[in-house]
Structure 1
């Protein structure tokens, strides 16, 4: 019996591969990289970045404290990759291949197009419409209070209101790395005529610290609910439940041709955003893409089959290529020395103010629209200030409210998209 249980125990895998098979792949990539024969373009970039992302992700997901309070794998991938560049572990030609893949060959835009299109079209229309009526005001309350507080405190402590809002407040509230800090750095770069790499180096630690603090605050809110039961629904968001805002999983078989359709639609939405942005340059093409996708979804203009195609493509990209994106952020966009220089007492205070402001603002507004304040603070506030999907899981786990995942996803999907649009408008004020 004992032998049978041992035999039935699943073996440890990385990227779905057994350790011996993964070790062979690592050996081939390392050999090719240091022999100087890593192919240029996407072939060499994918080979090296997928392996590095998988290894660093496994390390981060099993590191005590890091996995519970600092985002785990994603953070280790970003800063680990940046450290490998900083200390010259990657050969320069390999670093150039990865950097060009992210910037010159447009992998970053490719990923963002799949993420935004698939995540919004993959939602239930009823959930999107209902969220706009009752949930989005709670998100807006958190964003306004957090941005306002960080700007005020930034001015008072000498950091600067503009700098605090643009480089700390907005990135933290922007929906994580891939859908938040990275596109924000490009929006800021094109508008302010600055290098996106420099700005991202300031944004990345803000997003990472905001994520970890959101998890801690979520645990504290859970404890507050036990002391003040009137403030919490113990996992129920609304005082009066409404089943139409509960997102149910929709089973749809994976179809390779559908994913191809999803790929095409996602890049065409990106192209459409660029076309509209040409006529209305005051708003960034990313924002026009988001607005267009949301309108198509809300108005029911696209057949469900094609929406599912975009969602399947988004899931494929997210599940398989997020590690590649995070390595690229570390290599091409994160200057580790600038990150270390940014970690001042002022900086840490402003990160804390942003997260606390999000919780307060969303809790207060949530109360007025019929939500329990603690659940509203957690979902509409902290799930805006964390690092997207992985942050949602960590925050809801810390607060023991995993049943609120659909609302957390609204914050990560639509709330983050709203902040990108908001950033385009705010930039015009500061210019």
Structure 2
């Protein structure tokens, strides 16, 4: 995002005068409302905003050290731009449509899932997958237990705290979590699903925001207590690394092109399987497909490296732009602010803390580093699905853990829907 070296201060690899000149072109086009629709206009504006806000966040003393630095400022700064209408509505629509209607988020996550899984050590991936479910269950149990306890003590109600705060936060985001949960709750309680959703949305939004902040704090904790972290490695395995033999392949544009094609193809495969087995999200089927290919050794190492190099290109160049899109299209500051009350904030907080502590404890027992386990099996259950995964992992500087984050958001989210249905039958 920002570089300082012997060639002088740089942003996005560009010298400051060059960056300012081309950024001015983009900003002038934005306010004249001639910004092209689609990828060109959206990416240009998102890259400018992301670079500037990232520079600010990476240099604010408290924010850079304790709150996640650039990523959190990019997300919430972009959301503030929308709330205060600092840009023309046409440019906001271009960026929102690029994220949602034109699938930039899917494109980004496809690259991350494919490249990070295929870049893993195969034996390590198999060992980690077997132990991951207990870490998720530990986080869910601790989160729901703590929010029920505090809900009862603070007069909110244990059952209400679980139904309206704990389960929505742990449910995998909006589309795959809060929306189906609202339908489940509405039918079981004879309530309008829209009313249920209005109760859940602030919890999901605040839980996502807090998860991002906690992700940054856990990264800071790892620097203070190195014994708690694998610095991006999930499994505690001596002598093994996540990416195998990558050093024998120098960056190759042809390889990256192959990686691009394989990434989007795996994404389509997930959608094909999801059409016939719709109860599981296509993201989850994509993860399963890529993991099976990797675990069974079905493609040559060259293609694995191709996907990994494409993933690295996307992550290093487009993450700030993506975070802007998350802030613009998926983060509503009005919803977060409207939900503010001491009781509500405490209950959201203990839910996220419970997810962190439970997944860290069980993760350590099954052979994971506590910080990596709490980020993936804990925070990535408590955040807002795919968008939250990117934001949390970016704030925690552990983007290569995306496959496990997506397991939490997708398969873990599906588990929460089943759990919610079961709990409602017992207690509603």
Map Cα deviations across residues 341-365 of structure 1 (whole Å, 9 max, x no partner).
2343234323432344345434543
Cα displacement (A) at 1:243: 2.8
Q: Which residue of 1 aligns with 2:358?
A: 361
Cα displacement (A) at 1:29: 0.8
Q: Is the 8 A contact 1:142 1:359 kept in 2?
A: no
Q: Which residue of 1 aligns with 2:415?
A: 425
Q: Could you say if the C-alpha distance between residues 33 and 264 of structure 1 is closer, same or farther in structure 2, counting changes exceeding 3 Å?
A: same
Q: Is the 8 A contact 1:142 1:357 kept in 2?
A: no
Q: Could you say if the C-alpha distance between residues 77 and 277 of structure 1 is closer, same or farther in structure 2, counting changes exceeding 3 Å?
A: same
The match for 2:82 among 80, 85, 106 is 85
- Pair 1:413 & 2:403 matched: yes
Q: Which residue of 2 aligns with 1:319?
A: 316
Q: Which residue of 1 aligns with 2:141?
A: 145
- Pair 1:210 & 2:207 matched: no
Cα displacement (A) at 1:190: 6.5
- Pair 1:122 & 2:101 matched: no
Q: Secondary structure of 2:37's match?
A: coil
Unaligned runs of 5+ in 2: 184-192, 380-387, 422-428
Map Cα deviations across residues 23-63 of structure 1 (whole Å, 9 max, x no partner).
10111111111122111111111111111111111111111
For the residues of structure 2 that align with 1:100 and 1:234, how far apart are their CA atoms? 38
RMSD of aligned C-alpha atoms? 3.7
For the residues of structure 2 that align with 1:221 and 1:330, how far apart are their CA atoms? 27
- Pair 1:377 & 2:366 matched: no
Q: Secondary structure of 1:207's match?
A: helix
- Pair 1:43 & 2:44 matched: no
Q: Is the 8 A contact 1:124 1:247 kept in 2?
A: yes
Q: Could you say if the C-alpha distance between residues 215 and 354 of structure 1 is closer, same or farther in structure 2, counting changes exceeding 3 Å?
A: farther
For the residues of structure 2 that align with 1:22 and 1:95, how far apart are their CA atoms? 22
Q: Give the structure-2-normalised TM-score.
A: 0.78
Q: Is the 8 A contact 2:136 2:378 kept in 1?
A: no
Cα displacement (A) at 1:234: 9.6
Q: Give the structure-1-normalised TM-score.
A: 0.77
Q: Which residue of 2 aligns with 1:177?
A: none
Q: Secondary structure of 1:37's match?
A: coil
Cα displacement (A) at 1:138: 5.9
Q: Which residue of 1 aligns with 2:246?
A: 250
- Pair 1:107 & 2:104 matched: yes
For the residues of structure 2 that align with 1:276 and 1:261, how far apart are their CA atoms? 23
Q: Secondary structure of 2:8's match?
A: coil
Q: Which residue of 2 aligns with 1:165?
A: 166
- The range that moved more, 310-319 or 154-163, is 154-163
For the residues of structure 2 that align with 1:50 and 1:394, how far apart are their CA atoms? 18
Q: Is the 8 A contact 2:71 2:395 kept in 1?
A: no
Residues 8-407 of structure 1: pairs in structure 2 closer than 5 A: 9-133=6-130, 135-136=131-132, 139-150=135-146, 152-153=148-149, 156=152, 157-158=156-157, 160-170=161-171, 184-188=173-177, 191=180, 202-213=203-214, 216=217, 242-244=238-240, 250-251=246-247, 252-366=249-363, 368-369=365-366, 371=367, 376-382=369-375, 384-385=377-378
Unaligned runs of 5+ in 1: 1-7, 172-183, 227-231, 397-404
For the residues of structure 2 that align with 1:330 and 1:263, how far apart are their CA atoms? 26
Q: Secondary structure of 2:246's match?
A: coil
Q: Is the 8 A contact 2:116 2:403 kept in 1?
A: yes
Q: Is the 8 A contact 2:30 2:91 kept in 1?
A: yes
Cα displacement (A) at 1:259: 1.3
Cα displacement (A) at 1:263: 1.3
Cα displacement (A) at 1:299: 1.5
Cα displacement (A) at 1:188: 2.9
Q: Is the 8 A contact 2:122 2:294 kept in 1?
A: yes
